[in-house]
Amino acid sequence: MANARVWLITGASRGLGRAFTEAALAGGDRVVAAARNVGPLEELTEKYPDHLVPLSLDVADRQGVFDGVERAAAAFGRLDVVVNNAGGMLYGMVEEATEEQIRASMDVNFFGAVWVAQAVLPHLRAQGGGRLLQVTSMGSGGGMATVGFYGAGKAALDSVSEALAMEVEGFGVKVTNVQMGGYNTGLFTAGTTTTEPLARYQPLRTEMEAMWGDAVGPEPETAAPVIMELAALPDPPRRLIVGSQSFDHVMEMGRARTDLYRSWEHLSRIAPG
């Protein structure tokens, strides 16, 4: 297809990344599908031999990311849409997490996405534009017990991506924070690292587990049409919540936060700053 776009999608072997990859290929586009383990992509590679290039990539390895992006750009001669989707869950209380666990979580959820953005920007700028979709979370606007470090990584990515959007818009590069709802991606199973539980937090842990419940979120492919339409918009938003229920939850959290600020406005206004 003459107007086929070239995508680079990280975390492409499962979950949302796999769904986005399949949607782009079905639409006639070409995809460089990056993942630490590209084995699950073999079936897609056989189905789309001229449109899919699997790329073994660990986003936590900065030099590996820069080298990988060079291979990705060379695969089809350009990059049009970059989806920073790779991520992982660190599940547990803040006090329970080890330094190694915390740093590994941030390496994937924040630093990895930053390395990809830094590596692709010279290519997007040189060709006069492109799309950078930063997959964050509908919960990145506030912390929640047991998933605080996941939220922290996504919140940091939200913030730096807002700055990045301002910095690169003049080069024709459009950046959107894609704030995903709770989809059935395997994030809480295959993508999860769990802390060693401390007994003192068991009552809260039980409460949180009851709140999460056993309900399974929508399948990832139901989110793919949103991403496809977003990538095609001539003037995309800098933030987009993906998911009807998630949209309602975020709006309610925003109202609750505004109410909280208002209830303590008298204390805030004591200071002149």
Summarised one tens digit per residue, pLDDT across range 183-204 is 776 655 666 899 999 999 999 9
Question: What local confidence, expressed as pLDDT, does residue 30 receive?
Answer: 98
CA distances from 143 to 146, 148, 151, 265 (A): 9, 5, 6, 22
Q: How far is residue 199's CA from residue 96's CA, in Å, rounded to a whole number?
A: 10
Beta bridge pairs of residue 84? 134
The tokens of 11 are what?
């975390």
Residue whose pair of structure tokens reads 């995903």 in the numeric block? 180
Q: How far is residue 88's CA from residue 51's CA, in Å, rounded to a whole number?
A: 27
Q: How far is residue 200's CA from residue 5's CA, in Å, rounded to a whole number?
A: 53
Just list the catalytic residues: 150
pLDDT 10s digit of each residue in the chain, 273 long? 557 899 999 999 999 999 999 999 999 999 999 999 999 999 999 999 999 999 999 999 999 999 999 999 999 999 999 999 999 999 999 999 999 999 999 999 999 999 999 999 999 999 999 999 999 988 777 788 999 999 999 999 999 999 999 999 999 999 999 998 877 766 556 668 999 999 999 999 999 888 877 767 789 999 999 999 999 999 999 999 998 988 898 899 899 999 999 999 999 999 998
The tokens of 159 are what?
């913030």
Question: What local confidence, expressed as pLDDT, does residue 269 receive?
Answer: 95
Phi-psi sector, 172: left (phi>0), alpha (psi -120 to 50), beta = left
175 membership: H or E segment, kind and range: strand 173-180
Question: What local confidence, expressed as pLDDT, does residue 211 receive?
Answer: 82
Q: How far is residue 201's CA from residue 220's CA, in Å, rounded to a whole number?
A: 32
- Cα 123 off chain centre by: 21
Question: Is pTM beyond 0.95 here?
Answer: no
